[in-house]
Amino acid sequence: MRVNHVLLAATGLVATLPALFGADIAGKVVAKGTPKAELTIDMTADPKCGALHDKPVTTRHYVVDKDGGLANVLVFIKSGLNEKNFPPPTTAPLLDQVGCEYAPYVMGVRTQQKIKIKNSDPTLHNIHAIPNAMRDKGTPNKEFNLAQPIKDMVTEKSFDAPEVVVKFKCDVHPWMFAYVGVFDHPFYAVTEKDGSFKIAGVPKGNYTLEAYHVKTHGANPGVAQEITVDGDAKADFTIELK
Amino acid sequence: MANPVSASALRPDPWLCRFAVFTAAATLVLICFGGLVTSHGAGLAVPDWPNTYGYSLFFFPISKWVGGIFYEHTHRLAGAAVGLLTLILAGWLWRKESRAWLRWLGVLAFVGVVLQGVLGGLRVVLLKDQIGLVHGALAQLFFVLVCLIALATSRWWLDAAPAENEGTQGQATLRRWVLAATLLVLGQLVLGAAMRHRHAGLAVPDFPLAYGRLWPRTDTRFLARYNQQREEIHAMKPITASDVLLQMTHRLGACVVAAAVAGAWWIARRRLGPGHVLRKSLLAWLGLVAVQVGLGAATVWTAKSADLATAHVAVGSLILALGGLQTAAAFRLFAPPRSRDLTSAGDLATPTQPNGAIGQPVHP
């Protein structure tokens, strides 16, 4: 009898965990259609960049795996969150410049969360962040352009307002660019190489979930779908390539 | 008050004229460097100003002139050189030139080059594309100004005599036509600068058609598809309907400019003799416009090759400068009787330096 009580209590506790800690939204983003071939990048403008690669480097507009999974898609809750107060985490994600490329190519951060921007290359870079790059208007996030002439130099910056997306570029090496989604809540993810994603700790409720791919959607909204979270939920997206 | 003497009695200083021509040529080179900066998207490759990555402008190590830094840094160095040349020119004019209006043109040129330097620096520090646009447009006007100074210090200008049939309607028409065509060229240059400083790449990828049509579609769905399919290595801004319309306006503007320049040449052909300098220069002007149209087409066909786009900027500058020179020459040669007296008055001004300095009257 005591074991049954313990089992019952444990089951009840597990059942309430999503209500206490939120549920997961997991899924996959696939590309429909054939993307244009990536372009090979000529790095001869800075010999130090070319020397860091032993095979050709290409653009990363469409990273599609053999099953059609599309990487570098920002998936996030667009609307439906009743709670507005999500304090930013104290950890600082890293945006690195490695081999004269940004790593990662697409990332998500919180408003007012510090981003560590690092130069891991033996050459100069400038970090040029351009808010409103896709839409020419909108957020009050401030553009900045800073020098990083020294290897292993780290600069910390943050953005005050949510935005999809802020563009980072290097004007010294014009093929270098990255995109950072800024959110005022923690419910976002970037798809992996196979197109999969997981957003953890989502409170129970009805939401609009959006999948945004920079090259496909540009200045326009991504693909949206309604989702009800009452326990772990699944959401798949198909992004049509024109 | 000293008696005025004829303009032809003023003595030109060939070295001053040569120096002015050299400064104008250096300015054209500077414009080319600036064109390369924009064509390569390198305007912000050096985030600080007036220093360069913390170094003084003149001591930045050559080993670090890589990528976009090469274009931006050489542009700054060339700007400093043109600034120095302009300072010398302005000082030379101020000390040796008797014509007050020309002395003040020298001062204006110096103020202009300083303003250009400051605008270029502010564009970097304040991160404003609009300042870059003003910087680009003002560069063209500065180039015209230096060319006019070179013309005014030349023997040709001092020896130029008004045409015999002064103030006839045909000459008035020619004057106005050349001026109007020059102003149209300026407008076309500003349009081109506005396009380039959008940093959005090629808004219309084909020529002479636009997306395979006479007039392109600009609806959201069509542009979204174009942006998605556009092959790009540099992360340019998405093309908008405004970008497409700006490009089409620039294309139409080219037709208007070509017609205006052809019209000016046609009037000159009817009014002036075959050996007349203005008739020959207007033909050269028309030739330059034809070259410019070709360069514009080639820029589109090569998906905005940086070198061709920069050549297009340089030839545009030459067209504007030639327009300015021809306008000045047309007013010099064909000024109406009342204003000709005023035009000459600047050359007939009372000498300010009594001991035969440049621009002084030479007593027969």
The secondary structure element, H or E, covering residue A214 is helix A214-217
Q: Which residues of B touch A136 (CB under 8 A)?
A: 237, 240
Q: Residue A75: its pLDDT value, please?
A: 98
The overall average pLDDT reported for chain A is 91
Low-confidence ranges of chain B (pLDDT < 50): 1-9, 166, 340-364
Nearest-angstrom CA–CA distance, A155 and B46: 17
Reply yes or no on whether the pLDDT at A180 is more than 90.
yes
Q: Residue B135: its pLDDT value, please?
A: 97
CB neighbourhood size of B10 (10 A):
23
CB of A126 within 8 Å of a chain B CB? The answer is yes
- The domain locations on chain A are 21-240
Q: Name the pLDDT band for A225 (thresholds 50, 70, 90).
A: very high
Query: Which top CATH class is A21-240?
Result: mainly beta
Q: Residue B360: its pLDDT value, please?
A: 36
Helix/strand/coil percentages in chain B, nearest 5: 70, 0, 30
pTM for the full predicted model: 0.88
Question: Which residue of B52, B66, B244, B246 to mutate against A (max A Cβ within 10 Å)?
Answer: B66
Q: Residue A133: its pLDDT value, please?
A: 78
Query: What are A237's strand-pairing partners?
Result: A29
Of B42, B44, B53, the CB nearest to A145: B44
Of A47, A59, A171, the CB nearest to B42: A171
- The domain locations on chain B are 13-159, 162-222+239-350
Interval B204-259: pLDDT, tens: 999 999 999 999 999 998 998 888 888 888 867 889 999 999 999 999 999 999 99
Reply yes or no on whether the pLDDT at A20 is more than 90.
no
Q: What average pLDDT score do residues A225-239 get?
A: 95
Map tokens 């326990």 to a residue. A231
CA distance B113 to chain A (A): 26
ipTM over the 0.90 cut-off: no
Interval B263-275: pLDDT, tens: 999 999 998 989 9
Residues 6 or more apart whose Cβ sits within 8 Å of residue A21: A201
Nearest-angstrom CA–CA distance, A8 and A2: 10
Inter-chain contact A171–B45, Cβ cutoff 8 Å?
A: yes
CA distance A59 to chain B (A): 6
Q: Residue B5: its pLDDT value, please?
A: 43
Q: What average pLDDT score do residues A84-102 get?
A: 92
Q: What average pLDDT score do residues A82-108 get?
A: 92
Q: Name the pLDDT band for A11 (thresholds 50, 70, 90).
A: low
